[in-house]
Amino acid sequence: MEIYKGIPVSPGVVIGRVFVLDEVRQRIPRRTVVAEQARAEVARFDQALESSAAELDSMRVQVELELGAEAAKIFAFHQGMLRDPSLSAPIRARIERELVKAEYAVAEEFRALSDRFAKMGDSSFSTKVDDVWDLERRILRRLVGEQRSRLQGLDQPAVVVAHELTPSEAASFPHGKVVGFATETGGRTSHTGIVAHAMGIPAVAGVARLADHAADGDEIVLDGDRGVVILNPDVERVASYRRYIERMRVFGLSLDELRDSPSVTRDGVKIALHANIEFPREARVAVENGADGVGLYRTEFLWLTSDHEPTEEEQYEQYAEAVRALEGRPLTIRTFDLGADKGLGALATDTEPEQNPFLGLRSIRYCLSNLPMFKRQLRAILRASALGPVRVMFPLITSTTELRHAKMVLRDAMEDLAEEGQPFDRDISVGMMVEAPSAALMATTFAREVSFFSIGTNDLVQYVLAVDRTNEQVANLYTAAHPAVLMLLKEIVRAGRRQGIDVSVCGEMAGEAEYVMLLIGIGLRSLSVSPAAIPRLKRIVRTVEIDQCERLARRVGSFDSERQVLAFLREQVRTIIPEAFDGRAVEEP
């Protein structure tokens, strides 16, 4: 049995048999042509580009019908890359300069581009490597002839294991034959991962050396919730996962009954459960899962699936769709959180990579450095606020200067819309993410400036513990259970209470069953999680009492290590709601 740790990119757990997709990139030999033939080779390349663009257009339409508009945008992004002169011009130049065949020039230029992306420290660049190879293969097929994929011979359900998968390969999986996949490359924001989400199949990326050790027919457990892959699991492990899958199936059926039930504790205290979303269609999913609203709309995904900066009108349409889907429930829109692990979307290829992007020009810093772009987004948000309850939230605020500057730009946008006669909510709630230690330590000061806090535990944990959460070498040090993190959470909640503002948690911590009672116990009355997690959290909320949670929080406050904290919290949840606890027996690799 071998246990591998990767990056969870699409949720769900499946047990199956391995199908190794070992298609390797073709080795294109260097063949030269005489000078008179160079023009013909350029024409061959241009024809291949044109045919590839037409094929992508057809695929975009098909994917939109089958998987939705968000997944289809990936192939519109590919079309934009094909039209980009910075991609095609060097290929034409190489053909004419070196007098080589078109396919060789394509292979060499795409390899160089892929290498540049892969070597960049920012994961948002490296996750675009799959897009580069997708386009290369598409063009080469037009130049050297079609090649039959091994997937076409798949005759039974399987878990695909591959070094890499392109978005086109994932979208072309035979219907019902691929029940999950794991790759050695990729990440949460890769386009292949977005396709997996749209298809509703579990997926794990960044699983080092998995393809080297897996063989066709091997038994495999793919845990897309935790990012764990188990190759050739022992009998006990398989039995444990089968029990878990069945328990979650039955538990899921029981949760359906909770959709319209209020999220209140046994002693009658309301705990608001909101949803985190990336795309407007997910707002409908949130409502279907019983959400009280959307606590975090990650708008930067508009960039990550586009080949250009989203216009004000494009943004407005997206926000308006989400507002309408919520049918009067509140929508909290976070302004662009670009940079760090999410990159700069359509601007990525125009920007020099930073040495340490998590400490660089990201989030509110990037927006304040690009005021026209920032103002366009704020205008779109304000226009959407005329359609229903909308709140605006600024990410990664570290100083009062940043916050006041952002609020000033918001006021400017309001004045412009008022002059134009555009309707908007003049009393729109303005809040901020608390995800930097400076913001947490100055929470009392910030609480006087905003209407609400949303604690982003993903970034807060990594900054407090000095652990890059995307670095697998130190992943074992990243934990929200660290006493220092819990101390800061308490202080943020107290500061919000003293100033009478709402405080919620929107990081991954809020969606994990073992932390729910603790968060309620330290005073939080609002959690924002993935839509799928809402029914399970509602079951926990409706099973506990406030006094019970407060006693638990006091006990946790006496511990001095994260191991003590986690062991105690898991024991409590197992005792109170055993079926809701994610109790798979999985050791950390």
Q: Which residues are catalytic?
A: 191, 506
Sequence-distant (6+) residues with CB within 8 A of 273 are 263, 290, 291, 292, 526, 527, 528, 529, 534, 537, 538, 541
Residue with tokens 């303005």: 430
Sequence-distant (6+) residues with CB within 8 A of 12 are 180, 200, 201, 202, 224, 225
Return the bridge partners of 334, or none: 298, 393
The SS3 of residue 141 is helix
Give CA–CA dist 373/361, Å, rounded. Answer: 15
**Integer CA distances (angstroms), 5 to 92, 149, 343, in order:** 42, 28, 23
Q: For residues 142-156, b (16+ Cβ closer than 10 Å) or e, as one string? A: bbbeeeeeebeebee
User: Would strands 502-505 and 452-455 be described as parallel, antiparallel, or unpaired?
Assistant: parallel
Give CA–CA dist 451/433, Å, rounded. Answer: 12
Residue with tokens 């205008």: 379
Sequence-distant (6+) residues with CB within 8 A of 184 are 162, 163, 164, 206, 207, 208, 209, 210, 211
Using the 8-state DSSP alphabet, how is residue 120 labeled? Answer: -
Instruction: List strand residue ranges (DSSP E) for 212-305, in order.
Output: 219-223, 228-231, 272-277, 294-298
Sequence-distant (6+) residues with CB within 8 A of 401 are none
Decide if 90 contacts 110 (C-beta within 8 A). Answer: no
